[in-house]
Amino acid sequence: MTRVFSGIQPTGEQHLGNFLGATRNWAKMQHETDAFFCVVDLHAITIRHDDRAAVRDGSVRLAQMLMAVGLDPEVCTLFVQSHVREHAELSWIMQCNVSYGELSRMTQFKDKSDQHDFISAGLFTYPALQAADILLYDTDEVPVGDDQRQHIEITRDIAERFNYHYGETFVLPEAVIPAAGARVMDLQQPTSKMSKSLDSPKGTVGLLDEPKQIEKKIKSAVTDNDGTVRFEVAEKPGISNLLSILGAATDRDPASLADEYEQYGPLKTDTAAAVIELLEPVQARYRELEADPAETARLLKLGADKAREIANSTMERVRTNVGLLTD
Ligand code: ATP
Ligand code: LTN
């Protein structure tokens, strides 16, 4: 059976981009594959947080949101990265098998290092930890949004190099990027991706936003003065983003949706209505799950136990192949 792995950071609130680009597809894939989904708290600490509870509480809330979106811990393996120590161990070995030059070319590092004063070494070597996450589980497919393409490529490069030098050890993973919703853009700055770290509250639709807020944000989305509804990402980023969101929410092709609108107003109204309808059941389930953090902790422990078994056996193979003294 195809093995699937993906990760998501417990920082900030989940937004529409995370849902349409990643987590909604995870919920579908869990039924057809052997799927592992990880709350990557060790990735979250590459950026320094003043409030220590932020990551800890964020992990519980994110796990609850993932369940609200449809991940079923009885069907897939849902766990927290730091609960499986092998991630950190393999990450070191990955750091020793990736070059400074390769890491320097990562666009996420360039973007994020511009946004912070303290640039940790961990922010720079972040792709080595991500490669460890993926390779620990003999992953065939990694469902992610479009922004993660480069990180999956570098994971393949590291795995290929490792296999060449140390003998066949890792499965080479493939990125799985959705046809619709892979790159949801910020509503106020439609040339930047909707993101937790952009600090654009009016341009970001939170999965827990009230219907009225969602409507307001979508209705005040930045568009252009051209006045015609066309799907042309480069020329009309704002309108194309709304068409993409409406298309992803209603399972329609954004370019053909454009033919149905002559004015921006109705497009915005329909997009807002579709998003509100899409998120309503997620919000209702989240409210139920939020009430029982002890149950969430129990489910996460079961997930970590399951993940650890596989991670353990991969690490034994890696230690032997890399030439460490094993007992
Ligand atoms: P940050 O912007 O702080 O890096 P993020 O919002 O990208 O955070 P992550 O936890 O890094 O969130 O990403 C989780 C998943 O959501 C990844 O698979 C990523 O590709 C996807 N994703 C994030 N933003 C978008 C977006 N705007 N459109 C589509 N997919 C997205
Ligand atoms: N880097 C990713 C999060 C992430 C991930 C992973 C995704 C960490 N480990 C493994 C897929 C597979 C991000 O910033 N979205």
Structure tokens at 81: 């990265």
User: What pLDDT shows up at residue 297?
Assistant: 95
CATH of the domain at 241: 1.10.240.10
The amino acid present at 151, given as its one-letter code, is H
CATH of the domain at 62: 3.40.50.620
- The whole-number pLDDT of residue 198 equals 80
Distance 193 CA to ligand 1 centre (A): 8
Are 118 and 155 members of one domain? yes
Residue with tokens 């009309």: 236
User: Alpha-carbon distance 209 to 188, whole Å?
Assistant: 16
CB atoms near residue 115 (< 10 Å): 11
What's the pTM value of the predicted model, to 2 decimals? Answer: 0.96
Within-domain flag for 35: yes
Mutate which of 24, 37, 184, 195 for ligand 1? The one with the most ligand atoms within 8 Å of its CB, which is 195
pLDDT averaged per 10 residues in sequence order, the chain, 327 residues: 97 95 97 98 93 92 98 97 98 98 95 90 98 98 96 98 98 95 96 90 97 98 96 97 97 96 97 98 97 95 98 98 93
What pLDDT, on a 0 to 100 scale, did the predictor assign at position 10? 96
Q: Which pLDDT does position 129 carry in this prediction? A: 98
Rounded to a whole number of angstroms, the distance between the first and last alpha carbons of the chain is 32
Ligand 2 nearest atom to the CA of residue 133, by list position: 10
pLDDT of residue 199: 85
Query: Is 187 part of a structural domain of the chain?
Result: no
Let me know whether 311 and 264 are in one domain. Answer: no
Distance 284 CA to ligand 2 centre (A): 27
| Domain tally, the chain | 2
Task: Please state, in angstroms and rounded to a whole number, the distance separating the CA atoms of residues 197 and 171.
Answer: 32
For residues 53 and 172, membership in a common domain is answered with yes
Note whether 33 and 176 are same-domain residues.
Answer: yes
Considering the candidates 193, 217, 236, 268, report the single residue annotated as catalytic: 193
Residue among 304, 289, 295 nearest 66 (CA)? 289
Does 196 reside within a domain?
A: no
With the most atoms of ligand 1 within 8 angstroms of its CB, the residue from 18, 42, 275 to mutate is 18
* Ligand 1 closest atom vs CA 112: 4
Q: Are 126 and 151 within one domain?
A: yes
**CA 33 / ligand 2 centre spacing (Å):** 19
Alpha carbon nearest to ligand 2 atom 9, residue: 130
In a domain, 175, yes or no: yes
Q: Is 196 a catalytic residue?
A: yes
Domain that holds residue 65: 3-181+293-322
Residue 22 domain-assigned (yes or no): yes
The yes-or-no answer on residue 202 being catalytic is no
Q: 216 with 107, same domain?
A: no
Please indicate, yes or no, whether residues 11 and 123 belong to a single structural domain of this protein.
yes
55 pocket-lining for ligand 1 (C-beta < 6 Å): no
Query: Residue 172: what pLDDT?
Result: 98
Ligand 1 site, residue 142, Cβ cutoff 6 A: no
| 272 plus 316 within the same structural domain | no
Determine the pLDDT at residue 180: 85
Do 75 and 31 belong together in one domain? Answer: yes
Catalytic, 301? Answer no
Q: Residue 101: how many CB atoms within 10 A of its CB? A: 7
**Coil, strand, or helix at residue 35?**
strand
Same domain, 142 and 228: no
Do both 257 and 306 map to the same domain? no
Cα–Cα dist 53/49, whole Å: 9
Task: Please report the pLDDT score of residue 303 as a whole number.
Answer: 98
Q: DSSP 3-state assignment of 161?
A: helix
Burial (Cβ within 10 Å: 0-12, 13-18, ≥19) of residue 104: exposed
Q: Is the CB of 152 under 6 A from ligand 1?
A: no
Judge whether 277 lies within some domain.
Answer: yes
Cβ 81 under 6 angstroms from ligand 1: no
The answer to whether residues 114 and 212 belong to one domain is: no
Q: How far is the CA of 127 from the centre of ligand 2 (A)?
A: 9
- Kindly state whether residue 327 falls inside one of the protein's structural domains: no
Asked if the structure places residue 138 within a domain, the reply is yes
